Amino acid sequence: MTIALNHPLNPKAEIPLYSPQGNECALFESAWTRQLPVLLKGPTGCGKTRFVHHMAARLGLPVSTVSCHDDLTAADLTGRYLLKGGETVWVDGPLTRAVRNGGVCYLDEIVEARKDVAVVLHPLTDDRRILPLERTGEILEAQSAFMVVVSYNPGYQNLMKALKPSTRQRFISIEFDFLPREKEIATVAIESGLPEGKVAPLVDLARRLRNLKGQDLEEGVSTRLLIYCATLVDAGMPVSDAVRAAIIEPLTDDADVKAALLEVAKATLA
């Protein structure tokens, strides 16, 4: 089965800006035309969500995003019976709606969800492409224009929460990392409004701090934090205040680590 590009489910969507890291756009398009599910992996704030919205808009598809969390169950995705005016009526969840109507269903941080979520995804992510709804007795066949995309961050998960091979082997996987220096400078400048010349030292600081990851820090400075920092500077905050509020404080609560990071910041931005 091959699906046309530019499926007109969401024809007027504006295409959010996205600066590619490699061949991910071509991979996503091929996965879409051949109805393959996609898994995006990479650190937080490196552009995974932006990529999904960019590609969906390019392909003319609506996106329904589900941020997964500890309490998220299969019923939150598929739907449930609700009381409405004295009657119980079945209400589709976001996954069921996408299966019926087409579009991208994007499950962000999939490993956070309860185990029964993976069970619901299995028959949808192989060649059956079906969603059995136990509660209503229906077996829904996914619309040709339905696509599952999931994301996860391999960095901070403990072993208990690693994605099971039986689930991960159902997806085309695309690895994301932070953009190369020049592209990250351009992206942060566009998103924040701060000129590239002023963004460059902030990106250089982020790159230095990312090298410390693993020693004292769980996660490196994300592009998202860099954009916050540059936005504060663009709004008139002194660079040192912006760096502390948007880069150092979000990274750590440990006073010693904070002091060390501030030293690195001082040395880099001097």
Is 49 near ligand ADP (CB under 6 A)?
A: yes
Q: How many helices (H) and strands (E) does the chain have?
A: 12, 9
Is 187 near ligand ADP (CB under 6 A)?
A: yes
Asked if 207 contacts 39 with a C-beta cutoff of 8 angstroms, the reply is no
**Shortest spacing between CB 189 and Mg ion, in angstroms:** 21
Tokens of 76: 């939150």
Is 41 near ligand ADP (CB under 6 A)?
A: no
Among 7, 41, 50, 244, binds ligand ADP (CB under 6 A): 50
Q: Any bridge partners for residue 130, and if so which?
A: 141
Could you tell me which stretch among 75-83, 131-139, 197-205, 221-229 binds ligand ADP (CB under 6 A)? 221-229
Cβ-based nearer residue to Mg ion, 63 or 229:
63
Asked if 265 contacts 243 with a C-beta cutoff of 8 angstroms, the reply is yes
How many Å apart are CA 77 and CA 113, to the nearest integer? 11
Tokens of 229: 């920092």
| Interaction site with Mg ion (CB under 5 A) | 49
Cβ-based nearer residue to Mg ion, 72 or 142:
72
Round the CA-based radius of gyration of the chain to a whole number and report it.
21
Cβ-based nearer residue to ligand ADP, 170 or 224:
224
Residues 5 to 24 in contact with ligand ADP, rule: CB under 6 A: 17-19
**Spatial CA neighbour of 141 closest among 102, 104, 92, 169:** 102
The site for ligand ADP (CB under 6 A) is made up of 17-19, 42, 44-50, 179, 187, 191, 223-224, 227
